[in-house]
A and B are shown apart, each in its own frame.
Chain A
Amino acid sequence: MASFAVVTLLVVVSLWLYAVKRRPGELDAARARRIQNRWIIGGGLILPISSMALLLVFGIPIGYRMLPLPVAGQQVLQIEVTGHQWWWQVRYPEADIELRNELHIPAGQPVDLQLTSNDVIHAFWVPRLGGKLDMLPGRTNVLRLQADQPGTYHGQCAEFCGTGHAHMKFTVHAHAPDDFAAWLEGADRDE
């Protein structure tokens, strides 16, 4: 996508520069009109329409995968995340665990985050895990998240939420599925 954009930019700019330098010679009206139509129809209609079609063909399936649709034969883990000025409250309703500014998930499996806010609008975002969804007071949005590899990922609030916005961060720990089960057990006992 980016390279296509760069090529388009370069081609358009070089055409303009060439057009500026070019000496057209004498043009009769009919020829001038043919040139005009060629540019306007080619560049103004065909180019953008075909690029958009391409973009959508690739883009729509990607978007579809990010939807929280039911996964066949699998119970998707539900986690509640609530934004506060300026910290994150994380709850595992089934295990009855509550955490602050950290999120533990199993790697290689989708999880659904129930996002809401207690005060102003925040936005949940883990750059390396993709996606971003607003957390609105009075509403619950569901974000499907999946970490393919175990590891630690940084997340932060993406919607400006006041003085503490820059420091409203959290950490995602993705565990291998077995480790995650163990963590759930352990965390459960600690409570």
Chain B
Amino acid sequence: MSDQQQNRARLHREYDRVWGNWPGWGALAAVNHTSVGLRFIVTGLVFFLIGGVLSMLMRTQLALPEQDIIGPELYNQLFTMHGTLMMFLFAIPVLEGVAMYLIPKMIGARDLPFPRVGAMGYYCYLFGGLIILSSMALSIAPDSGWFMYTPLSSSTYSPGPGSDFWLLGITFVEISSVSGAIELLVAIMRTRSNGMSLTRMPIFCWYIMVMALMIIVGFPPLILASILLELERAAGFVFFEVAGGGDPLLWQHLFWLFGHPEVYISFLPAAGIVSTLLPVFAQRPIVGYRWLVLAVITMGFISFGLWVHHMFTVGIPQLAQAFFSLASMLVAIPTAIQIFAWLATLWTGRVVWSLPMLWILGFLIIFVAGGLTGVMLALVPFNWQVHDTHFVVAHMHYVLVGGMLFPLIAGLYYWLPHVSGRMPSELLGRWAFWLVFVGFNMTFLLMHVTGLLGMPRRIYTYQAGLGWDWLNLLSSIGGFVMAMGVGMLIVDLLLHFRFGRLAPRNPWNADTLEWAVDMPVTTYNFISLPDIGSRHPLWDDRQLPERLESGQGGLVEIQADRRVTWGSDAVTGQVREVVHVPSNSWLPLQTGVLLAVVCLGLLTKFYWVALGASLLALLVILRWSWHNGGHPLAAPLRDDDPQDPPLHSRTCDGPGRWGMLSTLLANGSLFACLLFGWFYFWTVSPQWQVPAQAPLSATPLLLAGLLLSAAALLYHRLTVRLCRGQAQGLAGGLWLCTALGLGHSLVILWLMLDAQLTPRSLAHDAVLAVMLGYLLFHGVLATLLTLLQALRVRLGYVGVRLPYEPMVLRPLWSYTLGVFWIALAGFFLMPMAW
């Protein structure tokens, strides 16, 4: 064996030792992005199959008129669960899984910046999904439709636990989606390989970046709405009931404020897959890179401006309708830009025809058709006619199946060799495609007609002789054809891992870095990290994979058994620090299990169990935060610490700070929705009532504000001095901050107890109570974390050489301060001026 080969084998052994998963059950403690990403994908596909089976049951019932194979009770559960599974447990998690798997490889990193968060997200998703599914097995599944309109979903009209399963389970799953999004965003912003400036990023990264931002801003409205509705159901708070001054329409606003962006959240990554595959099969760079980036960003923005188009029939003012109608149509522009940029790529390239291209073509046909019916639906008078009919059912399946499932399967076939080291089978793949394509169109093309003929959605049966009979029968047959196609796909996948032809490295001659890693894939991706000089590293330098593997890139040698990757500048991609990421850990699983217990405790109304599990979960999470930075289990100070670039925990601005800022962005979106709800009640709610006397008094509010301001300012000053290298009085200052924060929290607590709110009879007081709870939560959290920092200073985990963690925490203090004064203005001053 030559020296070079020996060296390479040694490197692989070393990397396997540091980066490998633990054997056996220890694999549950795996945190690396490849394992977690694959787990997301496989779990999501299982949920997809279950959701598909539910739809087959529905099509069986609807095949003939006046059948009663399935009664209305079960049917209502079926369509609610079908929508819920497909949207929340399949589309978003699978796409995030794909992104988690691919993004670090595409940007030349070894892992995501917060591996444990990714692993915890997976467990939240898995347990949340299982909890929701279990309701189906107990036949107490939610049955109010996947958008859970109040008051149908309220305790009066849905007294069973079905709605609770939905609200708690989905919120649980959404923790996973949001945490995944934060992780992806920070990965793309801060861990690209050296020299990968924003303009050199693979186009897929732009799509995922926008998707992540949209999840961060778009999911909190639903999280808030679910919390409010669960409070209403479980504790009797008034939010959506007209009698106490609430309004059921607030639910619809919050739901669609989430729900519309959600559609684009599932479309964008899929479009990103198309934009990644097409240039490879056309063997030329994507046309109009800048146009596409602009289109994707525009789409992200517009999608937040058109939630009301789901509510054209609730009776909103004409002017608002015209505005949202126009906004809905505007989305056609960035979509058309993408369609034609793809067309131009094919036009100017030499297309190599293969299986993934077939699925992309299917995507094009179905998605464009769905987009066109979408433009029609944006037209208000037409919408009034077909809203809530099977026309809308057809439209959304065209958009979602065409816009998400087809590109996803194209991507699945494209990246299969990456995971398995084998090539997909052309024959079975083609059969699967044609069955799915023909079956899909047979089902849903006809459904447009059924809808135009007046068949409403969500009815479990219909009378014969309305002209819907043969259409429904054909739709059902088509559905089964499609199911056969999906079955074929699954068979193909299973056979693939056993019998597939072995794949060469970079089998499609792609340009992006993920094909530079070993096949089948390893947990560390790269032995050494590349310098990036263009958007197409593998087309520029065909020897790159070889060179990286033999250790001729950056960051080769393993030091102190740390897992490390580059941290780089958000814009230029120049290396700034060495990011060390945690290794295998049980903490994510422990957190996930405890949160699941909280969820089950709330569901079964054993509130003391839920409370106990919450406290335990808090302890585990604090322990998690403890094993960071200079802690012996993370990266303790050593004499041979790398200096240029330094470890990120030795700097004042690492990925953790970006993670904190992204989290606060999500949090801010939730807070903004709460404020929106408050102002919405004041201005729109039909029977809004205000108590005769303002429940909050000014003096304690001001006192709380002053204490908080002092704490936040002091904290700010301490961190500024720390980053300048001045640590005198750091410990004392942090203790003082803790004391001030504690004082602030106590005053808020006293206010809550003293105010004598009646949230069970007045929406006014219910919102106020939630707001006070929100402020208290933030006061306590900031105080607690500062206390831990003070302890860490004493133990030497934080100091002049380790200034990182206090900097991560700083935005939380600023945020707490900001929301307090905004809340004061909105909840105290605004009503006085009214």
Query: Which residues of A approach B to under 8 Å, CB–CB?
Result: 1-2, 5, 8-9, 12-13, 15-17, 19-24, 27, 32, 35-36, 38-40, 42-45, 47-49, 51-52, 55-56, 59-60, 62-63, 66-67, 85, 119-121, 123, 125, 127-128, 130-134, 136-139, 141-142, 154, 156-166
User: With a CB–CB cut-off of 8 A, which chain A residues contact B361?
Assistant: 16-17, 20
* Nearest-neighbor residue (CB-CB) of A130 within chain B: B385
Measured CB to CB, the closest approach of chain B to A50, in angstroms, equals: 11
Q: Flag if A44 contacts B456 (CB, 8 Å).
A: no
Cα–Cα, bound, A131→B388 (Å):
12
Measured CB to CB, the closest approach of chain A to B141, in angstroms, equals: 14
Which listed residue, B313, B333, B347, B686, touches A123 by the CB 8 Å rule? B313
Cα–Cα, bound, A159→B385 (Å):
13
Cα–Cα, bound, A33→B300 (Å):
27
Query: Which residues of B approach A to under 8 Å, CB–CB?
Result: 72-73, 76, 144-145, 149, 151-152, 156-157, 242, 247-249, 287-288, 291, 295, 313-315, 318, 321-322, 325-326, 329-330, 332-333, 335-344, 346-351, 353, 357, 361, 364-365, 368-369, 372-373, 375-376, 379-382, 384-385, 387-389, 453-454, 456-462, 686-687
User: With a CB–CB cut-off of 8 A, which chain B residues contact A51?
Assistant: 332, 375
Q: Flag if A162 contacts B152 (CB, 8 Å).
A: yes
Please list the 9 inter-chain residue pairs (A to B) with the smallest Cβ-Cβ separation, ordered nearest first. A138-B242, A44-B337, A127-B454, A43-B340, A141-B315, A166-B459, A19-B346, A5-B372, A39-B344
* Nearest-neighbor residue (CB-CB) of B344 within chain A: A39
Q: Flag if B369 contacts A125 (CB, 8 Å).
A: no
Measured CB to CB, the closest approach of chain A to B365, in angstroms, equals: 5
* Nearest-neighbor residue (CB-CB) of A38 within chain B: B344
Q: Flag if B388 contacts A121 (CB, 8 Å).
A: no
Number of interchain pairs (Cβ within 8 Å): 214
Q: Flag if A48 contacts B336 (CB, 8 Å).
A: yes
Q: Flag if A40 contacts B456 (CB, 8 Å).
A: no
Q: Flag if B340 contacts A42 (CB, 8 Å).
A: yes
Which of A55, A66, A128, A134 has its CB near the most chain B CB atoms (within 10 A)?
A134
Q: Flag if A24 contacts B372 (CB, 8 Å).
A: no
Cα–Cα, bound, A42→B462 (Å):
46
Which of A44, A121, A137, A163 has its CB near the most chain B CB atoms (within 10 A)?
A44
Q: Give 25 A-B contacts (CB < 8 Å), ordered by A residue.
A: A5-B376, A9-B369, A16-B342, A19-B343, A19-B344, A21-B351, A22-B346, A23-B350, A36-B288, A39-B344, A42-B340, A44-B291, A51-B332, A56-B325, A121-B149, A125-B388, A132-B384, A133-B384, A134-B313, A134-B314, A158-B313, A159-B388, A160-B144, A161-B152, A164-B72
Cα–Cα, bound, A85→B152 (Å):
10
Q: Flag if A13 contacts B152 (CB, 8 Å).
A: no
Cα–Cα, bound, A133→B149 (Å):
16
User: With a CB–CB cut-off of 8 A, which chain A residues contact B322?
Assistant: 60
Cα–Cα, bound, A159→B313 (Å):
10
Contact (A62, B364) CB under 8 Å given A36-B344, A55-B329, A123-B388 = no
Cα–Cα, bound, A66→B318 (Å):
11
User: With a CB–CB cut-off of 8 A, which chain B residues contact A35?
Assistant: 344, 347-348
Q: Flag if A132 contacts B337 (CB, 8 Å).
A: no
Contact (A56, B326) CB under 8 Å given A20-B351, A35-B347, A40-B340 = yes
Contact (A131, B333) CB under 8 Å given A43-B339, A121-B152 = no
Q: Flag if A24 contacts B368 (CB, 8 Å).
A: no
Q: Flag if B458 contacts A24 (CB, 8 Å).
A: no
Which listed residue, A43, A120, A138, touches B247 by the CB 8 Å rule? A138
**Dominant SS at the B interface?**
helix
* Nearest-neighbor residue (CB-CB) of A5 within chain B: B372
Given contacts A20-B346, A45-B333, A59-B381, 13 further A-B contacts (CB under 8 A): A12-B343, A35-B344, A39-B347, A43-B336, A44-B333, A48-B335, A85-B157, A120-B152, A132-B313, A132-B387, A137-B248, A158-B313, A166-B460
Q: Flag if B368 contacts A9 (CB, 8 Å).
A: yes
User: With a CB–CB cut-off of 8 A, which chain A residues contact B318?
Assistant: 63, 67
Measured CB to CB, the closest approach of chain B to A93, in angstroms, equals: 20
User: With a CB–CB cut-off of 8 A, which chain B residues contact A8?
Assistant: 368, 372
Q: Flag if A133 contacts B315 (CB, 8 Å).
A: yes
Q: Flag if B315 contacts A136 (CB, 8 Å).
A: yes
* Nearest-neighbor residue (CB-CB) of A161 within chain B: B152
User: With a CB–CB cut-off of 8 A, which chain A residues contact B335?
Assistant: 48
Contact (A137, B242) CB under 8 Å given A123-B313, A163-B72 = yes
Q: Flag if B458 contacts A138 (CB, 8 Å).
A: no
Measured CB to CB, the closest approach of chain B to A77, in angstroms, equals: 20
User: With a CB–CB cut-off of 8 A, which chain B residues contact A130?
Assistant: 384-385
Which of A19, A62, A141 has its CB near the most chain B CB atoms (within 10 A)?
A19
Q: Flag if A136 contacts B460 (CB, 8 Å).
A: no
Q: Flag if B347 contacts A24 (CB, 8 Å).
A: yes
User: With a CB–CB cut-off of 8 A, which chain B residues contact A128?
Assistant: 454
User: With a CB–CB cut-off of 8 A, which chain B residues contact A139?
Assistant: 249, 315, 686
User: With a CB–CB cut-off of 8 A, which chain B residues contact A13?
Assistant: 364-365, 368
Cα–Cα, bound, A164→B75 (Å):
12
Measured CB to CB, the closest approach of chain B to A147, in angstroms, equals: 15
Which listed residue, A9, A15, A131, touches B343 by the CB 8 Å rule? A15
Q: Flag if B348 contacts A32 (CB, 8 Å).
A: yes
Q: Flag if A43 contacts B152 (CB, 8 Å).
A: no
Q: Flag if B329 contacts A133 (CB, 8 Å).
A: no
Which of B248, B335, B348, B385 has its CB near the most chain A CB atoms (within 10 A)?
B348
Measured CB to CB, the closest approach of chain B to A145, in angstroms, equals: 12
Cα–Cα, bound, A66→B350 (Å):
53
Contact (A39, B341) CB under 8 Å given A1-B376, A125-B456, A138-B686 = yes
Measured CB to CB, the closest approach of chain A to B362, in angstroms, equals: 11
